Amino acid sequence: MRSQCLVIVASLCLTLFSLPLADAATPDETVLQAGAAISNITPPISLDPVAQSKRPPATHVHDELHARCLVLDDGEVRLALVVCDLRHMSAEVAANAKQLIQSATGIPPESVLISATHTHTSSGARLEEGESESYYDYKAFLARRIAEGVLRSVNQLEPARIGWGVVEEPTQVFNRRWFLMPGRGIIYGAHDNIEHVDTNPGYTGLLRPAGPVDPQITFLSVQSTSGKPIALFASYGLHYVGGIPARTISADYFAIFADRIGELLGVDPNQAPPFVGIMANGTSGDVNNLERYSEEELAKRDPQPKKRYLPYEKACEVAYLCAEKVLQGHLSLQWHDYVKLSSVQRTLTFERRYPTKEEVEWAEAVKAKKIKPMSTSRYSTYSTVLAYASPEMPPTIDVIVQTHRIGDLAIAAMPFEVFAEIGLELKDRSPIQPLMNISIANGSHGYLPTPQQHRLGGYETWIGVNKVQLDASEKMVDSLVEMLDELE
Ligand SMILES: [Zn+2]
């Protein structure tokens, strides 16, 4: 009896001390709680029917964009995971959203992960990058809607169980950087420099890919103690699929997966609160969905007729395959009624990228119209080189990296378009297994190749496309491994 009274007194104290938190639920030290919600973040489309800018805004919405939120609570610590249907996640929006989240829910910024899927059809108006018409402040709207999604997840916290797993879908990921057969000729880079590899080099005359792919889909599944699915959160290292008509807003295969996995798990579409499927981007900086094979491999394969896909058909195909694989893994999931949560965050300061002497000379010669560039790429022009040569540009870039622990699953969050081999190295070195990688998280600072890939060249290594010192990936991986070790 006496010990029961003590328990009651203790839980009353807990209730009192937890009052500053915004939710009504009482944290219980031995019960895991979970809540999930989605917040609509679709930007406005243009009302100007004849908008004729170089990058015209969207005129159609095929499917709405969302911030998909999952909050876990172990009685002491709360963790919020948010994945947005956006091409990039600006560090400013992520920071502002985290401030709102902290004041609304008490969850500190280091326990909030906000990432972008990298859907390339997130905003025909490119609003998240500030290229918008002055209709309204989309960045402020976005931060607010992300915070609302997290608050709604907190408001829906309920006792839950959790499981996680790793499956593979190797047929939909292709490294897009290739060494070419000698017959393909010289590869010119953005500054007419000669490079060793080509990005998206067509489909013939290919020697071998310049890097690996990560075929794993790492996932975690959360359901109520009565077995009602609350959320399924997955990560796959695939850039995006595409095949979406011009000037159309769509969340690409990420959202199709989110719906499909709910169907496969037998979710009642009218359940309350609704189930939330989530697909985050793993490490896919050099990986896309375009099937490319070496000449040697092509010679071994039967000639395949090139299939013409209808809009969204390919995205559906990829999403359905991934969902089937996750379902298979889900069948043998081990459920946990309680897991411990913890997070470690660091701010890493990188030197920014500086152009070489040769690049500056090339850029000045182009500017003075002394030479005409061979490369027609719009990504790394003479003006980009001169901007990076300017002392006006800040000498360093601060980036946020995070590690999170959910029982024996760990998450590493990185704010770049990270090459697959970097994610694979992290998975290999992680003291906690399995490891889920999430890129374009808490900010977006361009591509992140390894120093070796920088030496090979190719689009992702160009200045402006890549913004940080050439060995940034090594520093980031070493830090993340230390931070995985620090997780309690
Ligand atoms: Zn990209």
Q: What is the mean pLDDT of residues 346-371?
A: 93
Number of Cβ atoms within 10 Å of the Cβ of 275 = 24
> For residue 220, what is the enclosing H or E element?
strand 216-224
Percent of the chain at pLDDT above 90?
79
Q: Which amino acid is at 137?
A: D
pLDDT at position 57, please?
A: 74
How far is residue 431's CA from residue 305's CA, in Å, rounded to a whole number? 45
Q: Of 59-63, 297-301, 380-384, 423-427, which gets the smallest average pLDDT?
A: 380-384
Burial of 21 (0-12, 13-18, 19+ CB in 10 A): middle
CA 110 to chain centre: 17
Classified as helix, coil or strand, 406 is strand
Nearest to 259 by CA among 239, 236, 279: 279
pLDDT at position 134, please?
A: 55
Would you say residue 10 has pLDDT above 90? no
Local confidence band at 58 (pLDDT 50, 70, 90 cut-offs) = confident
CA 348 to ligand 1 centroid distance, Å: 22
Are 484 and 430 contacting, i.e. CB atoms less than 8 angstroms apart? yes
Are 215 and 169 contacting, i.e. CB atoms less than 8 angstroms apart? yes
Local confidence band at 137 (pLDDT 50, 70, 90 cut-offs) = confident
How many helices (H) does the chain have, and how many strands (E)? 11, 23
Pairing of strands 276-281, 229-236: parallel
CA 126 to ligand 1 centroid distance, Å: 14
| pTM for the predicted model, two decimal places | 0.91
CA 234 to ligand 1 centroid distance, Å: 19
What are the two backbone dihedrals, phi and then psi, of residue 205, each rounded to the nearest 5 degrees?
A: 70, 30
CA 230 to ligand 1 centroid distance, Å: 30
Residue bearing the bigger pLDDT, 373 or 2: 373
CA 285 to ligand 1 centroid distance, Å: 6
Classified as helix, coil or strand, 141 is helix
CA 407 to ligand 1 centroid distance, Å: 32
Local confidence band at 209 (pLDDT 50, 70, 90 cut-offs) = very high
CA 42 to ligand 1 centroid distance, Å: 20
The CA–CA distances, whole Å, from 117 to 100, 104, 159, 164, 391 equal: 22, 25, 29, 20, 33
Local confidence band at 380 (pLDDT 50, 70, 90 cut-offs) = low
Q: What is the mean pLDDT of residues 37-50?
A: 82
Local confidence band at 49 (pLDDT 50, 70, 90 cut-offs) = low
Local confidence band at 191 (pLDDT 50, 70, 90 cut-offs) = confident
Q: What is the mean pLDDT of residues 288-295?
A: 96
Are 445 and 416 contacting, i.e. CB atoms less than 8 angstroms apart? yes
Q: What is the mean pLDDT of residues 174-201?
A: 93
Would you say residue 29 has pLDDT above 60? no
Are 194 and 375 contacting, i.e. CB atoms less than 8 angstroms apart? no
- Highest average pLDDT, of 130-139, 299-308, 349-358, comes from 349-358
CA 375 to ligand 1 centroid distance, Å: 20
CA 200 to ligand 1 centroid distance, Å: 12
Burial 101-139 (b: 16+ CB within 10 A, else e): bbebbebebbbbbbbbbbbebbbbbbbbbeebeeeeebb
Q: What is the mean pLDDT of residues 400-410?
A: 98
pLDDT at position 41, please?
A: 94
Helices (H), 168-312: 252-264, 295-300
CA 192 to ligand 1 centroid distance, Å: 22
Tell whether omega for the bond before 49 is within 30 degrees of 0, i.e. cis: no
Q: What is the mean pLDDT of residues 464-488?
A: 97
Are 126 and 55 contacting, i.e. CB atoms less than 8 angstroms apart? yes
Q: What is the pLDDT of residues 75-117, one digit of tens each?
A: 999 999 999 999 999 999 999 999 999 999 999 999 999 999 9
CA 350 to ligand 1 centroid distance, Å: 21
CA 253 to ligand 1 centroid distance, Å: 15
CA 416 to ligand 1 centroid distance, Å: 9
CA 440 to ligand 1 centroid distance, Å: 10
How far is residue 101's CA from residue 120's CA, in Å, rounded to a whole number? 27
Angle between helices 138-155 and 91-105 (to 10 degrees): 40
Nearest to 161 by CA among 404, 338, 342: 338
| Summary mean pLDDT of the chain | 90
How far is residue 264's CA from residue 460's CA, in Å, rounded to a whole number? 37
The CA–CA distances, whole Å, from 414 to 85, 347, 406, 479 equal: 17, 11, 17, 11
Give residues with Cβ within 8 angstroms of 101, minimum separation 6.
Answer: 80, 107, 109, 112, 146, 147, 150, 151
What are the two backbone dihedrals, phi and then psi, of residue 161, each rounded to the nearest 5 degrees?
A: -125, 160
The protein residues having their C-beta less than 5 angstroms from ligand 1 (an ion) are 417
CA 52 to ligand 1 centroid distance, Å: 25
Percent of the chain at pLDDT above 70?
88
Residue bearing the bigger pLDDT, 28 or 292: 292
Would you say residue 317 has pLDDT above 90? yes
CA 13 to ligand 1 centroid distance, Å: 50
Q: What is the mean pLDDT of residues 195-223?
A: 97
Pairing of strands 112-116, 78-84: parallel
CA 222 to ligand 1 centroid distance, Å: 30
CA 417 to ligand 1 centroid distance, Å: 6
CA 83 to ligand 1 centroid distance, Å: 16
pLDDT at position 5, please?
A: 39
How far is residue 108's CA from residue 99's CA, in Å, rounded to a whole number? 8
